[in-house]
Structure 1
């Protein structure tokens, strides 16, 4: 589907609904404006609320390429933007020497020896629909990496000193995600639209679970979403997000569990509890097992 066919937030919401990604009005509006205005969109929220999944779903709706750049400490130009093919350059030098020729620097730093990394690939993508570029967990990268993005985020362009500036014919659809493990630079935020994704309501979480774990018992889904809502109020090292909730309900369903009885579900808590302390707190919060009725006396 072309982005031009998404004429409003309602179209975006229906398109995402068709690929089983449910959004509220706020996120639908943010995605629509990013498409209509051609601006990068920065999504922030707790881990597991569906930030990465939003970019993936949008690429599916638009039937376009998803290019993903996973950020990490030490990420730089060679991994994110472009790199020179040093082996091929060396081979060219040796071939020239064998022919008694001499290669200058200008001969070695040409497009022939350029390796595209995710951002340059997104700029040079020539398909009928711009790609979705997901710059995932930007907060994991260093401050210096943010500065590398300013030209690209503001102008959909990359400057390579040896070759000049590459500007996208059709700017890619850029989605950045952050878990707020550190503060991002104001200059990066100014270049982006912004939306905070909160945990879904119990009703919307239940609807998501019904779609993603279709074999799960309806009563189990209702009880699990209500329980996860209570668990997030505990003093946990890491509150379970939607992704963990999906894993947990899938595990319970695979075991044939239909009720949140501690003796039945405690074995699956590794899906939502990621530290020993969290496991203890969540176990203590499980609903008590219903009392067992005494056997009837024989007359």
Structure 2
């Protein structure tokens, strides 16, 4: 038996140009440059997975979310972690419901033979679709494989097989194939190198921290309530901290947004030392970084 995503109302996902991709993504509030819009366009037209690498907080996960929103597609997220295996990504069986089903059969003694009872245990109603299977069945969809660098080699090999065919085989049911391949976005913070075989299967893009002008645009998009002066000052300080402060974990764009919102909630229209120091918990997450940032803020704001 073959189950395809066409049975679930598949539709084609087509884009005409790079500009269309950029405009759609921008409509969600995600500020996308031409290079990123181009690689997304190519991934969609070539039906290839998109591998995004970069420092934490550069907008890799947010891009997948923006793609799902802008194309009105379901977003299916697979969060990777050390020790994840294929069953946790693909499917499992609902054992409690299977046991209840067996008990129900026992209560009606003599109506079902053993072989039929065993076959009924692996009916599709007892199948628990994990993210990969769910994405194949919801064609088209966006499948976000988040922080794939946290998984191990065996899981990479599993992903490579699935992404090569966009189908999986379930012995008890049959093959599930996506009529329209999902738009797959893999993210990596590069805590380890991914294997070449997986990278060859994907289109690759490195996402840098945005420049000053683009980060101001992102901040204004995500927090329009901020004053123009506060937005520009916050981004200027964050950019300097990333490049000069020697932090263990430089703040990402998400931290920039959180810090700016925290300052706004305290009534700031411009950056001042007291409120900046009081809200550092939104910007840095290590005690050592907190100390370095306080010293850097003293120097930067004293020189204004």
Q: Does structure 2 conserve the Cα–Cα contact (< 8 Å) formed by 1:96 and 1:102?
A: no
Is 1:63 paired with 2:76? no
3-state DSSP class of the match of 1:22? Answer: coil
Matches within 5 A, 1:1-299: 3-4=13-14, 6-98=15-107, 99-100=109-110, 101-104=112-115, 105-126=118-139, 130-233=140-243, 234-286=245-297, 287-289=300-302
Note closer, same or farther for the CA distance 1:275–1:103 as it changes in structure 2 (3 Å cut): same
Cα distance in 2 for residues equivalent to 1:88 and 1:249 = 49
> Gapped runs of 5+ residues in structure 2?
1-10
Q: Does structure 1 conserve the Cα–Cα contact (< 8 Å) formed by 2:12 and 2:180?
A: no
**Which protein has greater RCO, CA pairs closer than 8 Å, 6+ apart?**
2
TM-score by length of 1: 0.90
3-state DSSP class of the match of 2:197? Answer: helix
Deviating beyond 6 angstroms after TM superposition, the runs of 4 or more aligned structure 1 residues are: none
3-state DSSP class of the match of 1:232? Answer: helix
Q: Does structure 1 conserve the Cα–Cα contact (< 8 Å) formed by 2:168 and 2:176?
A: yes
> Gapped runs of 5+ residues in structure 1?
292-299
Q: Give the superposition deviation at 1:2.
A: 7.1
Q: Does structure 2 conserve the Cα–Cα contact (< 8 Å) formed by 1:96 and 1:103?
A: no
TM-score by length of 2: 0.89
Cα-Cα RMSD: 1.9
| Number of positions where the alignment pairs a residue of Structure 1 with one of Structure 2 | 287
Deviations 1:191-246 (A, max 9, x none): 11111111111000001111111111111111111111110122211000100000
